[in-house]
């Protein structure tokens, strides 16, 4: 996957652009990113915000090593499918976006 394909996947699956990075938020604080994808020229890093406010890199991979999931799930190569609680957080963010569109809030 390249940067554009990864960004498109993220935005279609509940991520939102915060500070120029595809990000996931806490359900209780939907404007504050707690997980983000930092995309550089040749690599992408998955970072998680610690309670003290510092970002910690959880995984990193070159774009060439990241493969799209044929069933539309998280791309393989960054560990998105193995991080505990990540799938639930992504679903909560996506559900919040869908409901915001239905009610006209967002």
Provide the token pair at 32: 């504050």
pLDDT of residue 104: 65
- In the chain, what are the domain boundaries? 3-103
When pLDDT is cut at 50, 70 and 90, the band that residue 46 belongs to is: very high
pLDDT of residue 6: 94
pLDDT of residue 16: 93
Sheet containing strand 16-18, edge to edge, reads: 16-18, 21-26, 29-39, 43-49, 55-62
83, burial (CB in 10 Å: exposed 0-12, middle 13-18, buried 19+): middle
Q: Which residues contact 28 (CB under 8 A, 6 or more apart)?
A: none
When pLDDT is cut at 50, 70 and 90, the band that residue 24 belongs to is: very high
pLDDT of residue 105: 59
Identify the weakest region by mean pLDDT among 13-17, 65-69, 77-81, 97-101: 97-101
């Amino acid at each position: 996957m390249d940067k554009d394909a990864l960004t498109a996947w993220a935005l279609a699956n509940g991520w939102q652009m915060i500070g120029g990075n595809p990000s996931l938020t806490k359900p209780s604080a939907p404007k504050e990113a707690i997980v983000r994808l930092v995309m550089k020229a040749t690599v992408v890093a998955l970072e998680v915000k610690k309670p003290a406010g510092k970002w910690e890199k959880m995984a990193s991979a070159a774009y060439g090593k990241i493969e799209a999931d044929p069933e539309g799930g998280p791309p393989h190569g960054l560990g998105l499918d193995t991080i505990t609680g990540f799938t639930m957080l992504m679903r909560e963010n996506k559900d919040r976006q869908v409901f915001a569109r239905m009610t006209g809030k967002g």
